[in-house]
Structure 1
Amino acid sequence: MVITMMMDTSSTVTSTSFKIKDLLLRAWRERWTEIEWGREIKRLLRGVSGDVYDLADCMLRQAINGPVTNSLLMLYLNHCLDSQIISFGACIMAITKIPDLKPQCMNSLLDFLIRYKTRTNCYGNDDECIALCRSLVTFVHWLHSIILSSLNELNHEFGSNLDPTNILTIDNIHWLIMDKSCQMLRFIIDSSYLKALLYIGRMEEQTVWKQCIQLHNELIMKLQQQMSQSSSSSSSSSSIKSIFDTIQAFQTKIEWLSNDGITNTNVKKQPNIQPLDTEITNSIIPVVYQMMTTRPEFGYIQYRPLSHHSIRIVVSFYAILDPSCSNELIANYLAIIARSFDLSLSKLYCEILHTCLVGLIDTHNLANEDRKNINYHAWIAFLLFKIPQIFLQLSHHRIKLRKEIRFQSEDQSSVVDNHHHSDLESGIDMLMDLGPCIDQFLLRYKTEHLQKLFDSFKEPQMNLLSATSVDRYMREINRMALSASNDSMQNNLYNNDTGSDQQQQQQQTDSQQQSSSSSLDALSSNILIFRAEHTVTSILAPLYMENCKIEEVAGIICRMQHSFDVILCAAASNGLLPKFAQRLMELNRSNIVSRGENVRSSQIRAVIFDITFISLCSLIEQYRSDVLLESNSTNNQSDNSNSSFFINWCRWNIPSTNACYAPNVILSSYKDESKYEHLLPQLITTNDMTEFRTSLVSWDEMCIAAQFATAEILNAWIHDQITEDDVRIFIDRLKSRLCSLGLSAACWLFAKLETISAEHQSKIMMMLQELQTPSTSMINSSTESFSNDANETNLAFGYKQRFLLMSTTLKRLLTKYVPHTKLSTMNNSPTKTGTTLPIRLSKSPLNTMLDQCLHMTRKHFTLKLIYDFDGLYSLGGPRWFVTQVFRYLFNFCDKTVVCLQDSVDLAYGLFHIDLEQCALVLLRHTLPKFLLSKSNELHLTEPIISALIRLTVITTYSALEQLEIHELYPDESLELNDNLLENTAFYYKRREHQSNSSNQNVVTNGNGNPMDVGDNPIDENSWSFSIDSDTTDYQWILKEPLYIELVHLFQFIMEQSFEYEFSPWLLVPISLMEQILLNLREDAPKFLQFISFNLLEAMIHLGHCQSPCIEQLLAYLVLDTSRSRKIGAKLICQLELVRQYVDRQRNGSHNNRNVQQRLMMTMKSKQTTSINQQSTIAINNNNQQH
């Protein structure tokens, strides 16, 4: 049936085509006028476009039958174009299809094209618009071919003597053809509209475009040869030079390059046009960015904050709170900051190093109290280990930028390397100019820190600094250190002269002690952190050996407890923390279940389980559970049964947020609670002399049973069924052999402390106090080796180190989850405890405390503020935190550009506390609520709206940078539906992918013949950032909450912005598109692919508002599918029509004003003439009377 319908349609078209030919012959024979021809052809077509029946092709073929074109038929063709019966694109396509054109006919057709070149537009649907793009590509190919053929004809007739003055008129037609062809090429390259159509068309007509490039290169070579041969003839040389300049200008401008002139005439050094390459597809975006940031009509506001809070917050956050973050990800965040806030690479280097030095200065006093302080060693590890790698990643970012935009020479590698050296040297020079900061650092630390840092920059694998530069900087630093030391001594002498003798002696003693302490701290920390770096590798090597004995494994892990925090800092800074955590998890998992060993082996297995369990708990408390999940994702794909214990236990007992689950929720999370009942008698006993059984015991079940036993003991104590002494015996039994049981029980007590009544909280406090009190007998019997017999002394192996690590971890967890307890103020607490305690214990409202912290950041961002903001975020949650930060920054600033820039800079840095959640809140709540608020309608203006959208865009983009596919959000309940994605680039890309998958990678061409998908033009034009052709990748996109909220936001803005003809909302979509392009640049299509084409179409028809220009619209389009290119071509044509309409309106109003002025002048002149006539008559009458 379908075939029958197609045959009927084709037959109808064929019959109409024959009628058109007959009508054309009849009109020529009877010499109809163009009015008569137009009336008859419209009656025949009956409202259908003549392009359907190839009317233009039919008329042109009849018009060129003779040696010259038929003037009457060309008159009919002109009338069809004026009446819009046919399109100019169809005429172009018809002309290019005619073979073997005679020179005179070709010249006439070029005159016809020049006459109607301004009508290169399309008023039809998307199929006609994409046909215009294809025909334009074919037309450019045709122009190159006729220029080359005319040049060959002239060379064949006259050789090298091509002086136009000596050529006859009949042969001069070739010069006219070349001149008119170049005129059409100049018109194309000078029109942004035609270049945009050509930009889309060459993606469709790949073969034709490749042939056009070949003709272009051949034509350039011939013109160069001709110019060298015709140097004697000035007129010929100037004519050839004019043609050559046009061809070269076409090559330069057609690629959307920023330079309009021709800088070099050598073909080899010209930009190499590679059709259908990623660079060509994305080449429009850097050019549009440069155009928007340099041209004054776009009103671009440079975002250059004065304080650079975002750099300091990001560096401090990932140095202290998340040091295990990858170097590449940190470099990406810093590159986003530099790109969004217009920072040079040298300025970025300076701010990063300055932040590290300030952080070390702030932590110096804390480090004097505890040399193993986490923050102190974390800063040193970050400075010496991570900073060189981050700078190397940033240099890779810089190379990519310069390769794409600025450098095009063959020897650009050496130029880029030298520029990297100059960038880093300029950054260090800026740092040296910050004299007080360097002086304060050198007063507290020795110069070895900076010496090792600079030495790492000059290593061959880094190659960031030369040895000469390092020597120069170290000489300057040594001079500054000596000067700072002399100034400090003079200040001390001055203070001593003004005081008493006793005060002098005391101050001298204190100064000497402080100086010696500072030197020792600097030296010891320097050696210790480098020692720890080698220790990590030396620990991992034997732990992965297959023939390593279990006693040796236990000894290695136990010995590293002496400096466990420093080892973790070194491992995190070198990227070895996931591998280290992975090995600890493997050892913990392998020692859970008994394998028929003897009693001694079971005791050693229990000790290894205990050490690894406590070590993993301490690691997660400091570096969050992301490290554990990362290590588990790479190692736990084959065996998922035994490895899930510690991850599940950690998920419920040590959550990433600073809040515990309810105690009943924790106990109910363990499946099959009945299997733990038989373990309770071993733990709940009044006789401490009862044997602690280790054989045939699953320690994962024992850790869970410890929580059930603790719940039973606490419940019995609350109901006065047991005494306090019984509870002490139970606690002593938990902690006296294996510390993991006590730590597991303490985690449940943390949750219970939040829900129990105030009168019984003292009981839990006593139990936690007992858990932190070491067992005297076990401390005294602690050994450093296992005995050869099966006795209780094997369980005392390394007990002192295990209990110390367990006690430290328990105090940190207690301060994290239950900060209002008295235990959090105990001595020897970590620095993080002392900093978060005031926030957690303060009675002031959270809003007041957050405002105070934000106000303090205006002066100086300290290490304490990092913990304060982290604590406030944990207490208030992401929605409260983002809302209040936004309220403070955007409602209490003075709305100036500088203040808004600083606000965006600070807010973006603070959102790194939890980028995913903050981005979700911005997309889901903050931005829509701000836009919908009636009180904020007056604020939907520049620069406020751009600042808010910029903050949302860069935060969301940064959050998507750190996501890993299929891991972070396994929620199956969320998914994007096709209604929200309809008429978007992603929607069409997904449909084509599904179609290709259903056809089993077989598609058909236009003739219905099968061809390989690799030859499909759609697949060749895939973007460099596009989603891979894997169904799971599409499913991840559809289920990712950030993408879901991003699509919802775009849909929300589209619905609200064009609800009214005049509304403050009209600026929102314009600012949204601009900020996406300005901040993401080449990655902008990651967001633009989810924007509906309807939004772009609505923006085009906003005649009273600022519509995008052709280049902007082309940059907003994601043209990676055939359907997207059709819609894009239609939008380009619509924008050109709107632009022409607006120009006509402006010219019409201008002409009306001119007409009115002429009428007024005429009326005034008539009035003046009449007045003069009346005065003349009056004078004559007076004369007659006299």
Structure 2
Amino acid sequence: MKDTGMELQKTTSKTSLLNLMVLKAWRERWSDSQWGINIKTVLPRGVSGDVYNLADCILQQAVIGSNANPLVLSYLKHSLCAHLVSHAAVLKRISKYEHFSKVYCVTSLLEFLQSVISGVTCRSKPEEVMLPGSVVSLVYWLMQIFATCTEQFAVGGKLSPEHQVLIDNTTEVIENIISNDFLMGILYIGKQEDPDFFGKIREKYSDIKSSLISSGYKPNNTSIEKKLHRLAYVDVVQLHISRIESEQVEPISYCVQPLLAVEVLLNPSSDTQFYVSELLMIQRLKNYSMVRLFYEIIRAGFISLSNVIETSHDTMWGAFTFFKVPLIIKQLNALSHHKTNEVDHIPEVVEALDILLEDTLILDFMDTKCSCNMIEYLLNDWKKQQLVNDVHIKRFSSLREPISTLLQKREVANQAPSIINFIIRAEVPLSGVLKTLSADYNKVQEALLGVLCQVLVGNSFDLILSVATVEGRLKTFVSRLIQCNETSKQVPGEVGKTSVTRSTLFDVSFLMLTFIVQKYGSDVVLSENGDSFFEKWVRECMVERNKPKSPRNMVALCDENKVDELLLSLSKPEAQLKNSNLTWQDICMNIPGVLYQVLVAWENETLSSTDVKGILDSIKCRLFSFSVCAASFLCAYMQTVREDEFLKPLNMVQQFLSTLSPEEMSSQDNTKERLGLSFQIIRKMQHDIHPSGNPKMRSLTVTQNLVSHTPLIEQFKDVWRSVSQHGWVPVKAAQILESLLQAGGPVWFVTQLVEEILKCKYTKDMMKTMDIVFAVMHLDIERNTVAILERIVPLILFNKSGSEDITESQSFILARLCVYCIISNLETRTAPLKKRSRSEDIDETDLGNAAKIRKLTNPESSDNSSSSDFAMETHQSSKEPPSIIRDPLQSSLQGMFKVFAQFVATDELSPRVYFIFQFISLLVECGKDRVKPVLKLLPNNLVQNLLKVMVTDEITVGLICRIYDLRINTGRQSAVSDLCLWRNINLRKLSIQL
């Protein structure tokens, strides 16, 4: 036997040659009596290539009697070491042994398992296919042994020495399996492969647990029941993963406020679910508790609110903080599955406010700015939402009252009226306007005119729009204004006061609608195929930013007879336009034809400058909506002419911006408000097609001008310097960054952002900058993600000139940014950002007013059931990973993975390879099941090649099992193959150490 063993140890050829040598040794050196078995029944003459049958035959002979044959088991162990038989075949064959009454045979098999279990592995594809099922069968077999022993104890009240040895050996084998990461990974894969059979293991475990309780049996190893439970309920969370992303919660967040600043800028009218989805994504990425998330949301609102400027677009943040944030918090709380008996407040909100009170700097600033105790001011409104109750308001207010009073006294001399007061008070006028607009038009014309004109006084219109936007009532407001405009169209033959009131209502509603479309975009506030006069005019004649209109088409739509009639009446001052047969809506649609003829005549010197001015004055002195229609055509015309033809239409637009004489101002009711609004609209149109360097003009637009004498890179550096100094994104900075993205494109924009990260010297600063950059990239997350994957990463990492410059910490931060962006695309983006998110408004008809809006999340309201259903649906959808990835993200990922495959195909360990490992690890750690569609795109053998190159303990069983989709056969096969390679590499390392 010794000589044969030496021959086998020297054998390094294929399995068939090993088989030949073993057969020869068996037949030539030993007789049947030496082994005590019939060799012919074990191995028939000839060469058998089926190693599984070989293992089966040997084990059959090993346990053929009442006791196991140690020589045969020794030979089987030797065959395993020589790779003549596979571990999968041996484990499978052992699990088939059901003669548990033969205690000594079972004990021998358990002892044999103890000696080989730590070396279980695979060497070929057939073995890999069989291994998960073999391990699952073995676990079930061990459960059966344990169950047999407990049943014997239940019957006799004690265990025989033989059964005690049996249960001790079983316990030792179970412990060896649990301590072996490889076997636990294979067991988990086997669970996915045959869930029905694995259900038998759980049933057997339940029987064992019940038997232990009923019989009172206490094993020597008191933790065996927990170990059995771990085997029966093996899960991926039990598989160790070497995390490269810290599980510790960062003390200061730098991404919540910038993210909200960007989203409120781009998507002010988005519904609550849009913000909830993004905030839940942040919570998962950052491991925030619900208390911490609530605190960050409230703090972000206060920080941005401190940046609000009077009468500007930034008032949106005040409305967001007071009206949208409570709804977001209630929705998040509904999704948290946190059961509480409290009905008048949310405990997590109270805890968040306790943390906020420690941030005295922001609270002191807000108290000074708003001339009030900001906490008390805010909580009085939140009480209606049942976020806090009277007890909390009293406690928090009292804590801030001394400081707040002192601050207000110090600033009393220089205090200006707080914009916050106006924002809060704007909710009531909005409800009043909507109520008046929904009333019978014929009965409320005078009252409606007074309400609409009052809205235009001061900055009330901006504030009301801000509140309507964040409360989801903007589209309702617009639809009712359109209805008012339709009803106010001129009725032929109507005269007197009724006609004057109707014309003023037509004018003011037209101007208000045009202002709203300019501010939010026609795609957001208008129906796609609306058939009202105003909607048709917008589609055909209104010039919009980033939506050029053809002046030729405008002229072609005009009626020649109406153009001639209108031109005649405008050319003769004595011919009053109001005596014309043309209606107001006809004039709006035919003004382009008139102005085109005027321009041609002026160019040909048929008309003088004085004649042109007279015609323009005749237009301006009537309805101010005519001036807006004229300016829209002229601005569109200026976009199509040469530079030397630009001046005349520009001067014509300027004429509409000239002031009226006192007589003209007094000739119509509410002239001042309507004229002022028309000036704003015309200036905005002019600025969109011919940006000005005048700082006053910049405040008229949402973003900074795209055309500037300052290079884009210098503009970016200026604004980023402001962001770095603040540690958050001011509202104006978000607007400028959005303009720079539009001007420079995503590749240029993301390049500048990534360079700001790489400039940082310390990891802490890089992490801070990366969080801000991640938030800013949500200005257009899809295009920016494609840019960083397709252009930035290859340029920085995989270019020869730059590959040596990046450090390990920089590589990690860059991988982290890429992963964050991919996850954001998967979780929150299903359509183009602006168009989708801006159009999701709640119908006011269904909600009624602000009180009804708040009832959506009120647990005592009658609509609570629908709210809960929505919350559950949202939570479930957030758990389910998306089934597909859309282009261009999918193409970008596939291209990057191809580059990955090239660099891990070599044996060179470089920073590039480590970046690939970091990227895959972070995808798994941060994205979990949500990134399964991304991981499916990984090329075949990428992970195997990565294992061969890195040879590191950082690639663990848990990581490999999380990479693949184990619900499908190909995923399981790939996982087993990688695990076996991982196992063999580790065994080789262990053998070298020995």
Question: TM-score category by the smaller chain?
Answer: 0.7 to 0.9
**Contact 1:67 1:102 (8 Å CA) reproduced:** no
Distance (Å, rounded) in 1 between the aligned partners of 2:948 and 2:626: 70
Which of 213, 223, 226 aligns to 1:248? It is 226
**2:395 counterpart of 1:472:** yes
How far apart are 1:385 and its partner, in Å? 0.9
Letter in 2 for 1:878: P
> How far is 1:946 from its partner?
1.2
Find out whether 1:619 has 2:516 as its counterpart.
yes
Whether contact under 8 Å (2:266, 2:834) holds in the other structure is no
| 1:524-535 aligned within 5 A | 525=422, 528-532=425-429, 534-535=431-432
Post-superposition CA distance 1:271-303 (Å, at most 9, x none): xxxxxxxxx56x46xx76xx645xxxx585979
TM-score by length of 1: 0.68
Q: What is the Cα deviation at residue 447 of structure 1? A: 3.0
Q: Once the two structures are superposed, what CA deviation does each residue of 1:228-247 show, in whole Å capped at 9, x if it has no partner?
A: xx6xxxxxx4xx252x5212
Instruction: State the TM-score, normalizing by the size of structure 2.
Output: 0.80
Residue 928 of structure 1 is aligned with which of 794, 815, 830? 794
**1:173 Cα shift?**
2.8
Cα distance change of structure 1 residues 851 and 1023 upon mapping to structure 2, 3 Å threshold:
closer
> Counterpart in 1 of 2:820?
954
- Does 2:184 align with 1:329? no
Match for residue 447 of structure 1?
A: 372
Q: Deviations over 1:942-993 (max 9, x none)?
A: 11011112222223433444423599899xxxxxxxxxxxxxxxxxxxxxxx
Q: What residue is the counterpart of 1:106 in the other structure?
A: 106
| 1:770 aligns to 2:655 (yes or no) | yes
Distance change (3 Å), C-alpha of 1:849 and 1:218 = same
How far the C-alpha of 1:335 sits from its partner, in A, is 4.5
For residue 756 of structure 2, the aligned residue among 885, 888, 897 is 888
1:1025 alignment counterpart: 880
Tell me the residue number matched to 2:810.
Answer: 944
Give the whole-Å Cα distance in 2 for the aligned partners of 1:937 and 1:893: 18
Q: Write the mapping of 1:190-229 to structure 2, written as runs, cut at 5 A.
A: 190-227=179-216
In structure 2, list runs of 5 or more residues that go unmatched: 1-21, 837-875
| Match 1:184 to one of 173, 178, 182 | 173
Is 1:316 aligned with 2:188?
no
Partner SS state of residue 941, structure 2: helix
- In 1, the alpha carbon distance for the partners of 2:119 and 2:913 equals 31
Provide closer, same or farther for how the CA distance between residues 414 and 299 of structure 1 changes in structure 2, counting only shifts above 3 A.
closer
Structure-1 separation of matches of 2:831 and 2:807: 38
Structure 1 residue 1125, shift from structure 2 partner:
1.9
* CA–CA separation in structure 1 for the residues paired with 2:737 and 2:672: 36
Report how far residue 1072 of structure 1 moved.
Answer: 0.5
- Which of 1095, 1099, 1105 aligns to 2:942? It is 1095
CA displacement, residues 91-119 of structure 1 (integer Å, 9 cap, x when unaligned): 32233334444423333332332232134
Q: Which runs of structure 2 are paired with 1:135-146 in the superposition (5 Å)?
A: 135-146=134-145
One-letter amino acid of the structure 1 residue matched with residue 765 of structure 2: C
Aligned in 2, Cα 1:79/1:1077: closer, same or farther, shift over 3 Å? closer
1:136-535 equivalences in 2 (<5 Å)? 136-156=135-155, 158=156, 160=157, 162=158, 167=160, 172-227=161-216, 237=218, 240-242=219-221, 244-252=222-230, 283=237, 292-293=242-243, 304=250, 308-319=253-264, 322-337=267-282, 339-340=284-285, 349-363=294-308, 366-367=309-310, 372-375=311-314, 377-395=315-333, 399=336, 413-414=339-340, 421=347, 424-447=349-372, 449-459=374-384, 462-463=386-387, 465-488=388-411, 511=413, 514-515=414-415, 517-518=416-417, 523=421, 525=422, 528-532=425-429, 534-535=431-432
Once residues 767 and 100 of structure 2 are traced to their aligned partners in structure 1, the CA distance between those partners, rounded to angstroms, is 63
Per-residue deviation, 1:897: 0.5
Per-residue CA distance 1:507-542 (angstroms, 9 max, x = gap): xxxx2xx44x437x654x1552232453466367x2
Matched AA of 1:925: R
Equivalent residue for 2:462, pick from 547, 562, 565 = 565
Deviation at 1:89, TM superposition (A): 1.9
SS of structure 2 residue aligned to 1:722: coil
Q: CA deviation at 1:572?
A: 1.5
Q: Deviations over 1:57-87 (max 9, x none)?
A: 4554455444344556545644543443432
- Tell whether the 8 Å contact from 2:80 to 2:86 is kept in structure 1 after alignment: yes
Instruction: Quote the residue 2:923 is aligned against.
Output: 1076
Per-residue CA shift, 1:166-187, capped at 9, x if unaligned?
x4xxxx3322332222222212
Q: Is contact 1:749–1:764 with CA below 8 Å preserved after alignment?
A: yes
Give the 3-state SS of the residue equivalent to 1:518 in structure 2.
coil
Q: 2:55 and 2:829 mapped to 1: Cα distance?
A: 55
Amino acid in structure 1 at the alignment position of 2:184: K
Cα distance in 2, alignment partners of residues 656 and 26 from structure 1: 94
Maintained 8 Å contact 1:878/1:918: yes
1:1122 aligns with 2:969: yes
Q: Match for 2:725 among 859, 882, 907?
A: 859
Superposed displacement of residue 1066, structure 1: 0.8
Cα deviation for residue 197 of structure 1 reads 1.2
Tell me the CA shift for residue 753 of structure 1.
3.9
Displacement of 1:683 in angstroms is 4.8
Q: How many percent of aligned residue pairs carry the same amino acid?
A: 20
User: Which residues in structure 2 correspond to 1:620-769 (within 5 Å)?
Assistant: 620-624=517-521, 627-628=524-525, 632=527, 640=529, 642=531, 646=535, 649=538, 657=546, 661=548, 666-667=550-551, 673=556, 680-685=563-568, 686-687=571-572, 689=575, 706-707=591-592, 709-732=594-617, 739=624, 742-753=627-638, 756-769=641-654
Distance 1:147 1:742, change over 3 A: same
* Cα distance in 2 for residues equivalent to 1:530 and 1:1080: 40
Gap change, CA 1:96 and 1:454, over 3 Å in 2: same
Q: Which residue of 1 aligns with 2:853?
A: none
- Matched residue of 2:804: which SS? helix
> Which letter maps to 1:438?
L
The residue type equivalent to 1:94 in the other structure is R
| 1:774-800, Cα deviation, whole Å (9 max, x unpaired) | 7778864546xxxxxxxxxxxxxx876
Cα distance in structure 2, aligned partners of 1:94 and 1:108? 14
1:1152 matched residue in structure 2: none
2-structure distance, mates of 1:853, 1:452: 33
| CA deviation map 1:447-472 (0-9, x unaligned) | 3653242134445x544x45323211
Asked if the contact 2:932/2:965 (under 8 Å) is kept, the reply is yes
**Corresponding residue of 2:740:** 872
CA distance in 2, matches of 1:181, 1:867: 68
In structure 2, what is the equivalent of residue 847 of structure 1? 713
AA paired with 2:684? Answer: R
Q: How far 1:352 sits from its partner (Å)?
A: 4.3
Structure scoring higher RCO (CA < 8 A, sep ≥ 6) equals 2
Q: Aligned runs of 1:890-909 on 2, under 5 Å?
A: 890=758, 892-894=759-761, 896-909=762-775
Q: Does 2:107 correspond to 1:124?
A: no
SS in 2 for 1:1101: helix
**CA 1:179–1:586: 2 relative to 1, 3 Å:** farther
- The 8 Å contact of residues 322 and 424 in structure 2, kept in 1 or not, is answered as no
Q: In structure 2, do the counterparts of structure 1 residues 117 and 756 end up closer, same or farther at CA, with 3 Å as the change threshold?
A: same
Question: 1:846–1:1097: structure 2 CA closer, same or farther, 3 Å change rule?
Answer: same
1:83-94 matches, cutoff 5 A:
83-94=82-93
Say yes or no: does 1:918 pair with 2:784.
yes
**Residue 473 of structure 1: CA displacement?**
0.8
After alignment, is 942-951 or 808-817 more displaced?
808-817
The 5 Å alignment of 1:547-626 reads 561=456, 563-581=460-478, 614-624=511-521
- Taking a change above 3 Å as real, the CA distance of residues 888 and 1112 of structure 1, as seen in their structure-2 partners, is same
Structure 2 Cα separation of the partners of residues 191 and 415 of structure 1: 45
